[in-house]
Amino acid sequence: MKLDKNFFSENIKTLLYALIIAIVIRSLLIQPFYIPSSSMEPTLLVGDRLFVTKYSYGYSKHSFPFSPPILNKRILFNSPERGDVVVFKTPADNRTDYIKRLIGLPGDKIQFIDSNLYLNSSEILKSRILIKNKIYCGNKVIDVYKFEEILPSGKKFHTVYLKDYTYQNSDVFIVPEDHYFFLGDNRDCSKDSRYLTSVGYVHKDNLVGKAQFIFFSSDRNIGSIFAFWKWHKSIRFNRTFDKIN
């Protein structure tokens, strides 16, 4: 069979168009992410795959693969809301993606006093949930209390604290203009804005997008996703299409 002389060039064009469309969707609309750490337990588990909307807060150079210097500031900016679960580039290297919960807006004062979180001198209300949970910190299972926390806006979400409350007190964190303060829901096992040299305050240009829902989840402690004979145990079917609160 004789091939059309344009066969290869047409296929290359098709692949190129598909690549461009994929980059546009990933950069401007929605991007999948994988959760590799336990810092957001119990909200997000290691092995969760989720979709993040890129348009939620507008666009910066970090909206695009490899953060090309094509935008010198964020455009079409929409302010994130306190309590959003946000993917951002860490200020330390402007490359690494982190996912945390937004607690402090520009001008806010954040402080931990006796292991309680204070926002602008008012304690964030939390109520203990009497549910036994298996919570990880890295590869270790840790002994925690689980709480429902309520932000001033009324937004509710779950957090966990070590039973010996290792993070007792802190200095007052004052969030600079155009910056945000993030915490992990696994409060005693999270590198977040409390650690100024590694994460610290996050500039609005470093925001990547808002976490929306989990589309797939598997427990790597049970087996690899390629071990199909363990799927009935390793795949967390109950988390599929869960909205992220």
Q: What are the residue numbers of the active site?
A: 39, 100
Which residues touch 199 (CB under 8 Å, ≥6 apart)? 90, 91, 92, 98, 182, 191, 192, 193
- Other residues' Cβ atoms within 10 Å of the Cβ of residue 107: 11
Is the Cα torsion angle 38, 41, 43, 45 positive or negative in sign? positive
Of 150, 179, 147, 180, nearest to 163 by C-alpha is 147
The phi, psi pair for 60, rounded to 5°, reads -135, -175
C-alpha to C-alpha distance for 128 and 133, rounded to whole angstroms: 13
The phi, psi pair for 167, rounded to 5°, reads -95, 90
The CA-atom distances, in angstroms, between 24 and each of 15, 56, 75, 94, 125 are 14, 15, 16, 21, 41
